């Protein structure tokens, strides 16, 4: 084969090889550029993958870039441990944990008590991202955030199977219907942005949410600012409804935390709340409880519809109807 023919054969081959290497180089460059863009985007939105229902402490680790942390303005006096979560969502007002349970999560506060019923910690509408409307645990909008209200009320949905995964929001509160579970886990930890507080669980009770189910009355246990005098009546109402006596005293001068979630122990037709109440640890008091004082309360107060369904007489039908007041 002569030189001219060789050239005619090789030239197209060299051209094809050149084009191939050029395309590969462009693809590698583009891929690298896309990866850089993705990393930059992740840093901008301070998110790394999906975040499960409770914004657990471990979940938040690593989601915040150093640059973002330096750019965030924090409230004066905020604890270092709260800064990372606050940078992700400025609606953060606290952190709730119950040692020994799955509850270890960020607490937010909206302008009302509706917003975080359907929004997660990243303000995403939860039924769109998961098919389940679990929202995020949130502090009642009337409670103060730079200290403690008389009654710090935290609301949250309950979804998921009690023996399955995931247990969402306040599902773990269901376990507190058991005295044995309370005895093992009697403490609630709550941190504002500025200070950590310890509460000792003093009551677990059920309450109807609609007046129609209990002779036109429901216990307004979510009022944040009841006075010491007014709290006397509240304590009596709680004692009537307690599933068991915790042996932990509750005085009118105490500050409390109230954890509230839906439950259907009286049937699907009765809108009911499971309520776990803790009172602030007294000065010099230890976290230990006296287990000998924990006793069952089989005749705790139920709503009228329950007595009707069982054919029983309601001993509380004509009981005094306490109403919350700041006076």
Greatest distance between any 2 Cα atoms in the chain? 117
Reported as a single tens digit per residue, the pLDDT across 14-54 is 444 444 444 444 444 343 443 333 232 222 222 222 333 34
| Average pLDDT along the chain | 81
44 assigned to some structural domain = no
94 assigned to some structural domain = yes
19 assigned to some structural domain = no
pLDDT at 275 over 90: yes
Give the single-character DSSP code of 58. H
Reported as a single tens digit per residue, the pLDDT across 227-267 is 999 999 999 999 999 999 999 999 999 999 999 999 999 99
Residue 234 sits in a domain whose CATH number is 2.40.260.10
Using DSSP bridges, classify how beta strands 256-263 and 151-155 pair: parallel, antiparallel or unpaired.
parallel
Name the more confident of 44 and 199.
199
42 assigned to some structural domain = no
Q: What is the pLDDT of residue 132?
A: 59
234 assigned to some structural domain = yes
Task: In whole angstroms, give the CA distance from residue 54 to residue 58.
Answer: 10
Name the more confident of 125 and 311.
311
Q: What is the pLDDT of residue 13?
A: 43
Q: From 169, 37, 190, select the one nearest 116 (Cα to Cα).
A: 169
The torsion angles phi and psi of 86, rounded to 5 degrees, stand at: -65, -35
Q: What is the pTM (predicted TM-score) of this model?
A: 0.79
Q: Is 142 left (phi over 0), alpha (psi -120 to 50) or beta?
A: alpha
Task: In whole angstroms, give the CA distance from residue 186 to residue 289.
Answer: 8
Share of the chain above pLDDT 70, in %: 72
Q: What is the pLDDT of residue 135?
A: 83
Reported as a single tens digit per residue, the pLDDT across 126-151 is 665 555 567 899 999 999 999 999 99
Task: In whole angstroms, give the CA distance from residue 254 to residue 228.
Answer: 8
- The number of distinct structural domains making up the chain is 1
Q: Are 170 and 156 in contact (CB under 8 A)?
A: yes
287 assigned to some structural domain = yes
216 assigned to some structural domain = yes
Give the single-character DSSP code of 173. G
258 assigned to some structural domain = yes
Q: From 153, 262, 244, select the one nearest 205 (Cα to Cα).
A: 244
Task: In whole angstroms, give the CA distance from residue 252 to residue 229.
Answer: 7
Alpha helix (H) residue ranges in 80-184? 80-88, 115-118, 126-129, 179-184
Reported as a single tens digit per residue, the pLDDT across 280-302 is 999 999 999 999 999 999 999 99
Task: In whole angstroms, give the CA distance from residue 179 to residue 79.
Answer: 35
Q: From 217, 198, 201, 199, select the one nearest 209 (Cα to Cα).
A: 217
What DSSP letter does each residue of 224-267 carry, written as one string?
A: S---HHHHHHHHHHHHHHBSEE------TT--EEEEEEEE-TT-
Q: What is the pLDDT of residue 91?
A: 96
Using DSSP bridges, classify how beta strands 272-280 and 151-155 pair: parallel, antiparallel or unpaired.
unpaired
Residue ranges of E strands in the chain = 92-97, 104-108, 138-139, 151-155, 158-159, 168-169, 187-192, 196-208, 244-245, 256-263, 272-280, 295-296
Parent domain of 138: 87-310
The arithmetic mean of pLDDT across residues 297-323, rounded, is 97
């Amino acid at each position: 084969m002569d030189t001219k023919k060789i050239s005619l054969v090789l030239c197209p081959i060299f051209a094809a090889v050149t084009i191939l290497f050029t395309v590969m180089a462009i693809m590698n460059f583009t891929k690298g550029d896309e990866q850089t863009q993705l990393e930059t985007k992740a840093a901008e939105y301070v998110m790394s993958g999906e975040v499960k229902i409770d914004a657990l402490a471990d979940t938040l680790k690593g989601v915040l870039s150093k640059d973002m942390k330096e750019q965030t303005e924090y409230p004066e006096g905020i604890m270092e441990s709260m800064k990372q979560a606050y940078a992700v969502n400025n609606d953060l007002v606290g952190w709730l944990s119950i040692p020994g349970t799955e509850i270890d999560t960020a607490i937010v506060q909206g302008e009302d008590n509706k917003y975080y019923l359907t929004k997660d910690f990243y303000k995403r509408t939860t039924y769109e991202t998961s098919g389940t409307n679990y929202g995020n645990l949130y502090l009642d909008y009337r409670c103060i955030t730079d200290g403690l209200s008389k009654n710090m009320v935290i609301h949250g949905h309950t979804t998921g199977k009690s023996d399955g995964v995931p247990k969402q929001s306040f599902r773990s509160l269901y376990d507190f219907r058991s005295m044995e579970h309370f005895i093992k886990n009697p403490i609630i930890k709550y941190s504002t942005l500025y200070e950590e507080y310890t509460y000792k669980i003093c009551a677990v009770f059920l309450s109807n949410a609609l007046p129609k189910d209990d002779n036109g009355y429901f216990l307004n246990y979510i009022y944040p600012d009841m006075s010491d005098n007014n709290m006397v009546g509240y304590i009596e109402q709680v004692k009537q409804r307690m599933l068991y006596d915790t042996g932990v005293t509750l005085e009118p001068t105490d500050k409390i935390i109230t954890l509230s979630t839906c439950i259907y122990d009286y049937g699907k037709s009765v809108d009911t709340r499971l309520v776990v109440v803790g009172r602030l640890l007294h000065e010099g008091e230890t976290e230990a409880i006296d287990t000998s004082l924990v006793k069952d309360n089989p005749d705790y107060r139920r709503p009228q519809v329950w007595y009707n369904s069982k054919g029983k007489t309601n001993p509380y039908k004509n009981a005094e109807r306490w109403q919350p007041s700041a006076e």
